[in-house]
Amino acid sequence: TDLNALKSYSENIAALIIQSPNKNGLIENWMESKKKMLDPKSLLIAVSEPLSLSVLEPPGKCGADIFVGEGQSLGNPMSYGGPLLGLIAVKEQYKRRMPGRIIGKTVDKNNNDGFVLTLQTREQHIRREKATSNICTNQGLLALRATIYLALMGKKGMPYIANICYQKAHYAANGISELENYSLPYSNEFLMEFVVKTTHSAIDVTNYCAAKGVSIMRALTDESDSLLLIAVTEKRTIDEINHLIKCLKEFS
């Protein structure tokens, strides 16, 4: 993201939304984004994938006022695109404007851990089924799955998985960059997704790889039909990554 472009906007900006990693897989600088904002009253909204936050600086420490993200990767199936699990967090001064309910942790009279409804909007009681902030059964089940997943992974498990993704993605990127007709157009600051530039048609390359059992896509920002977007997670093996590299080499 070109942060210098912020200077061309007026000071009447309600909020700035910065996603990191962004749609090209690159890690953005939230803290620098906050400093570049002309109006100190403008809000910084950070968007991220939760697994990446186990190794990146938390949005709150980088000056973000609101965080939003997608929790599908927290133990939930892809299910052909839904239902998915939305995540949101805000600074203390905005919590009363939050939709849904805020659950707080406490202890009972026997000093056992317990959870209570700390805050919920009156709208849910007044409008009942017509309330806009209700949490439906599907979302409740997805949140439960995410809770179980996070409890199983723990503080060490999430960074461990993120590091595996990082190592495998960079292994793939390094291997592809050594091929003729392929290069990495952006910096090396990515976690598990990266863009590859090719002298071939990106659509033709993706179709060829699909026929070989490999799923990659044309980059979302590609207008020249020359950019590929490749994601590598902990589920991909070294043999599968080498197969991807082989497919790209064969197409050349």
pLDDT, position 135: 67
Q: Is residue 171 predicted with pLDDT exceeding 80?
A: yes
Higher pLDDT, 211 or 11: 211
Q: Is residue 130 predicted with pLDDT exceeding 80?
A: no
Sign of the CA dihedral with 138 first, then 66, 147, and 80 last: positive
| CATH number 3.40.640.10 is the correct assignment for the domain at 3-99+135-151 | yes
Instruction: Read off the pLDDT band of 13 (50, 70, 90).
Output: confident
Residue spans in the chain of domains classed CATH 3.40.640.10? 3-99+135-151
| Residue range 224-245, pLDDT digits in tens | 899 999 999 999 999 999 999 9
Q: Which of 79-93, 115-129, 157-171 has the highest mean pLDDT?
A: 157-171
Rounded Cα gap, residues 212 and 225, in angstroms: 20
Higher pLDDT, 7 or 167: 167
Residue spans in the chain of domains classed CATH 3.90.1150.10? 155-251
Check residue 251 and give left, alpha or beta (phi > 0: left; psi -120 to 50: alpha).
alpha
pLDDT, position 9: 72
pLDDT, position 10: 63
Mean pLDDT over 88-114 rounds to 88
Q: Which range among 23-32, 106-115, 129-138, 194-203 shows the weakest confidence by mean pLDDT?
A: 129-138
Q: Is residue 12 predicted with pLDDT exceeding 80?
A: no
CATH class of 155-251: alpha beta
pLDDT, position 47: 97
- Contacts with 250 (C-beta within 8 Å, 6 or more apart), sequence order: none
